[in-house]
Amino acid sequence: MKLWRGIIGAALILSMTVPAWAAPGEQLTAQQRREDLDILYENLKKGHPNLFANTSEEEFLARKGKIEAGLDTTSDQEFFLDLMSLTALAGDSHTSAALGDQTRLMRAYPLSLTWREGKWYLSALLAEHRELLGREVISVAGKPVPQAAEAFGGLLSADNPVKLRRQFRQACNVADLYEYLDLVEAGEPLVLTLAEGTELSLAPVSMEELGKIEIAQLGEGLPQPATAAQDCYYCAFPLNSDTYYIQYNACAEDPELPMEQFAAQAAEEHPQLIVAPEICGRIGTRMAECAAADRLGRELASAFWEYERNIRADRPETAMDYIELASALALSAYGQELRQMGELRSREELVGELQCRILPHRNRGNLKSRRAGLAAQLHEIMEKASAPGIRSKAEKRDLANGWLELAVSFAKVPVKYEADLIKQQQKQEQMIPHHEMTMTM
- pLDDT tens figures, 134-168: 899 999 999 999 999 999 999 998 899 999 999 99
Q: For residue 4, what pLDDT is reported? A: 34
Strand partners, 136: 121
Using the 8-state DSSP alphabet, how is residue 313 labeled? T
CA distance 97 to 156: 8
Burial class (CB in 10 A: 0-12, 13-18, 19+), 17: middle
Residue 185 lies in a domain: no
State residue 433's pLDDT score: 54
Split into its structural domains, the chain has a count of 2
Q: Which of 105, 133, 162 is the last residue of a domain?
A: 105
Summary mean pLDDT of the chain: 84
Pairing of the two strands 111-116 and 2-3: unpaired
Q: Residue 398 burial (CB < 10 Å; 0-12/13-18/19+)?
A: middle
> What's residue 240's pLDDT?
66
Question: For residue 47, how many other CB atoms are within 10 A of its CB?
Answer: 12
Distance separating alpha carbons of residues 345 and 332, to the nearest angstrom: 10
User: In this structure, are residues 331 and 339 in contact, taking their beta carbons and an 8 Å threshold?
Assistant: no
Amino acid making up residue 15: S
The model's pLDDT over 352-371, given as tens digits with 9 standing for 90+, comes to 889 888 888 788 888 888 88
Residue 52 has pLDDT above 90, yes or no: yes
pTM score: 0.55
What number of other Cβ atoms are within 10 A of residue 240's Cβ?
9
The pLDDT value given to residue 252 = 82
Task: Provide the pLDDT confidence category of residue 68 given band limits of 50, 70 and 90.
Answer: very high
- Kindly state whether residues 238 and 89 are assigned to the same domain: no
Choose the weakest-confidence range: 13-22, 33-42, 262-271. 13-22
Largest CA distance in the chain: 88
The answer to whether residue 288 is domain-embedded is: yes
401 and 256 co-located in one domain: yes
Rg (alpha carbons) of the chain, rounded to whole number: 27
For residues 276 and 419, membership in a common domain is answered with: yes
Structure confidence at residue 394 (pLDDT): 82
Give domain status of residue 47, yes or no: yes
State the pLDDT at residue 424. 85
Contact 327, 410 (CB under 8 A): yes
**Mean pLDDT, to the nearest integer, of 108-132?**
91
- pLDDT band of residue 244 (cuts 50, 70, 90) is confident
Helix (H, G, I), strand (E, B) or coil at 2: strand
Distance, CA of 184 to CA of 107 (rounded, Å): 13
Whole-angstrom Cα distance, residue 173 to residue 234? 29
The reported pLDDT for the residue numbered 1 is: 33
* Beta carbons of 19 and 36 less than 8 angstroms apart: yes
Q: What are the backbone dihedrals phi and psi of residue 176, each rounded to the nearest 5 degrees, phi first?
A: -60, -30
Task: Answer yes or no: is 206 within a domain.
Answer: no
308-354 pLDDT, tens digit each: 999 999 999 999 999 999 999 999 999 999 888 888 888 888 998 89
CA–CA separation, 394 vs 2, rounded Å?
A: 13
Q: Is 32 left (phi over 0), alpha (psi -120 to 50) or beta?
A: alpha
Instruction: Describe the crossing of helices 347-356 and 316-340 by its angle, rounded to 10 degrees.
Output: 120
Q: Quote the pLDDT of residue 241.
A: 58
64 occurs within a structural domain: yes
Q: Strand, coil or helix: what is 391?
A: coil
Collapse the DSSP code of 228 into the 3-class scheme (helix H, G, I; strand E, B; otherwise coil) and give the result: coil
Give me the pLDDT at residue 18, please: 40
The answer to whether 378 and 300 have CB atoms below 8 angstroms apart is yes
Cα separation, 119 vs 157, whole angstroms: 22
Q: Which of 84, 105, 126 is the last residue of a domain?
A: 105
For residue 382, being part of any structural domain is answered with yes
In this structure, the answer to whether residues 245 and 100 fall within a common structural domain is: no
Whether residue 167 lies inside any domain: the answer is no
Specify the pLDDT at position 281: 93
Nearest 10 degrees: CA dihedral of 276, 328, 320, 367?
A: 70
Decide which of 426 and 283 is more confident: 283
Could you give the CA distance from residue 31 to residue 268 in angstroms, rounded to a whole number? 57
> What does the pLDDT average to over 400-415?
95
More confident residue, 115 or 439: 115
93 and 238: one domain? no
Of the residues 76, 105, 134, the one at which a domain ends: 105
Confidence of residue 266 (pLDDT cuts 50, 70, 90): low
CA distances from 11 to 14, 285, 292 (A): 9, 42, 47
- For the segment 397-407, the average pLDDT, to the nearest whole number, is 93
Give the dihedral sign, CA 257/261/267/273: negative
Domain range for residue 33?
2-105
Distance, in Å, from the CA atom of 28 to the CA atom of 22, rounded to the nearest integer, reads 6
- Give dist(CA 139, CA 161) in Å, integer: 18
CA separation for the pair 171, 176 (Å, rounded): 10
Q: Is residue 196 part of a domain?
A: no
Confidence (pLDDT) at 259: 85
